[in-house]
Amino acid sequence: MMKNKLVVLLLVVGIVSLPLSNLLGLSGENEPINGVEGSSANFIKVTKILQNKCVDCHSPGMTRMPIYADFPIAKQLMAKDIENASARLILTKELYSGAEKFSPVQLARIEGVVLNNSMPPALYLSMHWNDRLEAEEQRTILAWIKDERSQLTWSQSASQALKGEPIQPLPLTVALDGKKVVLGQKLFHDTLLSGDGTLSCASCHSLLKGGTDQAKVATGINGQQGPINSPTVYNVMYNVAQFWDGRAKDLHAQAAGPVANPGEMGANWELVIEKLKQVPEYQTAFESLYAQQGLTMDTVTDAIAYFEESLVTPNSRFDQYLRGNDSILTGNEKSGYELFKTTCASCHSGPALGGLSFEKMGVKQNYFMLRGGSLTDADQGRFNVTKDEKDRHVFKVPVLRNIEMTAPYFHDGSASSLAEAVKVMAKVQRNKTLTADELDDLVAFLKTLTGEYKGKLLTQLTQDDLK
């Protein structure tokens, strides 16, 4: 029985090992695509590479597999590959024809696999040696990614040489309705929003503590220990959705949650509105800024959301580097950044180094086994929202701006220092054991991400600056 299976397998592998492109007579020459629109010379080359070497697994429904798809083992292997590959990157016709732009997340993921030389997968290459990416092709793909990034609005203030980087500088100013921001700031710090008048949003998201409570898990009214770590409120507008599991679609939807959550502020919106209406300052502010609706849950959360959108922390040393001040970073910090680009930036990219996508905690190793302890509901992550098995232990990638200030780390607050968090990340996400020097460099780089609020470095901000 075993022997038979082996023979079948060898047979299949034998057939499969004829390079597929040769079987199809496509060697190097794929069918021409119609109208590559407004694209760079690099893109014209890149789209050919993608169509020759990547679509078989990354364009479900468009594979050129049927030739051996009837062989049961090959068929199963391919189906699994296509399923897993599509969960990470779908190359649609719109994308490779140039009709649609690749998103920053797609660019970051492609850059990650090219820098690590990890696509197409090794097993597949052992059968389709022609599909290996040549060094020249890798350079072309990387150059194209830089072209694409340099066109993003995000990249505009970066120096010419650094417009193609996976991280972009935060804007120095944000254009927002100043009056709504001021109103939102007051509400954010007001304990009237909690059931027993003891907590404000700032109790768990102190602007002096990097936008967090610097605690393992949050403490709600009556001293209740919450199930999860408080994320920062700084730079939250770069999040695709809010909360670790992304259950709130935006800041407006998010702000309604904690007030009524019995484990957090434990209040009732109707009573909160009644109490706020008795404050003359709020009466006048809402009358002038929200003349139509007045003081309601919607307008309160709207003002808070405006305030949160103003919580940008620009001008970190790293941003100054991105804007062209090359000597502001030390050698160690620069080495750390280089390592970050190959090891971390496929997930932590964009102006806030995160917030753009959902990723599994433990891609390469089982984080939860390494951590120990029993699994909590919070550990299930995005699965709690979608009930899709693929989303189990998947979390929104946290932003890494001001990260030196927001220990302890992870949704469960399990990492007490930044070095520990980085070590765990390298291990569970990349299967990489960092040397002591690599770890030092990465931490040194991450510390260059601390920015300013109200014109002051976050680590030096005091209560007086918030008035």
Structure-token pair, residue 175: 């254009």
Q: How far is the CB of 370 from ligand HEC (least distance, A)?
A: 12
Q: Per CB under 6 A, does 54 bind ligand HEC?
A: yes
Per CB under 6 A, the segment of 29-37, 163-171, 231-239, 273-281 that binds ligand HEC is 231-239
Q: What's the closest the beta carbon of residue 250 comes to ligand HEC, in angstroms?
A: 9
Say whether residue 233 binds ligand HEC (CB under 6 A): yes
Instruction: Answer yes or no: are the C-beta atoms of 85 and 63 closer than 8 Å.
Output: no
Residue 372 CB coordination number (10 Å): 7
Residue 204 touching ligand HEC (CB under 6 A):
yes
For position 264 contacting ligand HEC by CB under 6 A, the verdict is yes
Alpha-carbon span 49 to 28, nearest angstrom: 9
Q: Which is nearer to ligand HEC, 113 or 157 (CB)?
A: 113
Sign for the pseudo-dihedral over CA of 80, 86, 87, 89: positive
Stretch that binds ligand HEC, among 10-18, 60-68, 193-201, 322-330 (CB under 6 A): 193-201
- Smallest separation (angstroms) from ligand HEC to the CB of 111: 8
Determine if 239 is a binding residue for ligand HEC (CB under 6 A): yes
Closest CA to 143 of 183, 176, 111: 111
The contact mask relative to ligand HEC for 369-408 (x = CB under 6 A, - = no) is: --------------------------x-xx-x--x--x--
* C-alpha distance across the termini of the chain, in Å: 78
- Please give the Cα distance from 417 to 404 (Å, whole number): 9
Whether 83 contacts 61, CB under 8 Å: no
> Which residue in the block uniquely carries the two structure tokens 């009556």?
222
Would you say 177 or 420 has its CB closer to ligand HEC?
A: 420
Per CB under 6 A, contacts with ligand HEC among 136-175 are none
Tokens of residue 3, six digits: 């022997």
Kindly tell me which residue out of 144, 282, 410, 453 binds ligand HEC, with binding defined by CB under 6 A.
Answer: 410
Interface mask (CB under 6 A) for ligand HEC, residues 81-120, using x and -?
x--xx--xx-------------------xx-xx-----xx
CB 237, min distance to ligand HEC, A: 9
Q: At CA 88, angle to CA 396 and CA 162, rounded to 5?
A: 75
Residues 6+ apart with CB under 8 A from 367: 361, 393, 424, 428
Sole binder of ligand HEC in the list 107, 272, 422, 439 (CB under 6 A): 422
